[in-house]
Structure 1
């Protein structure tokens, strides 16, 4: 079940921070509507890395569709990898 608290609870931020756990953000509301999410720093860093990876994959896919795909042999030559 999500942990939802009014933003006014930040007056006693130690209690709010205590409720944050890895994988379990605390959602803060303002005027009854979702406004903020507090997450553990490890979760935040993982989300940022995932977003970057997905963006890089999308760029690669777009490049492949526009400029053509490389074969494995072409990639190995480009990276100077030898299969001896």
Structure 2
């Protein structure tokens, strides 16, 4: 269940920070609407790394499609030295 608190709880921010852990962000509301999320730094770094990886994979996929340069199974095995 999400941990939701009003932004006014930040007056006692140490209490809010105690509730944050990896996989359990604290969501802050302002005027009854979701406004901010506070996440553990490890979770943030993992999210950023995932976004970067997915961006690079998308660029690679677009490049391959544009140049029509997919490798066959045999070509991949040869590149990796897996020919039997």
TM-score in same-fold range (> 0.5): yes
TM-score when normalising by structure 1: 0.84
State yes or no: 1:55 paired with 2:47: no
Structure 1: gaps spanning 5 or more residues: none
Cα offset for 1:70?
4.2
Structure 2: gaps spanning 5 or more residues: none
Cα offset for 1:71?
2.3
* CA root-mean-square deviation: 1.9
Q: In the comparison of the two structures, how many residue pairs are matched?
A: 79
Which deviations, in whole Å up to 9, do the C-alpha atoms of 1:5-53 show, x marking residues without a partner? Answer: 0001000000000000110000000111100000000000000000001
Q: Which runs of 4+ in 1 moved over 3 A?
A: 72-76
What is the match of residue 19 of structure 1?
19
What is the match of residue 30 of structure 1?
30
TM-score when normalising by structure 2: 0.84
Looking at structure 2, the residues matched to 3 and 10 of structure 1 have their Cα atoms a distance apart, in angstroms, of 14
State yes or no: 1:43 paired with 2:28: no
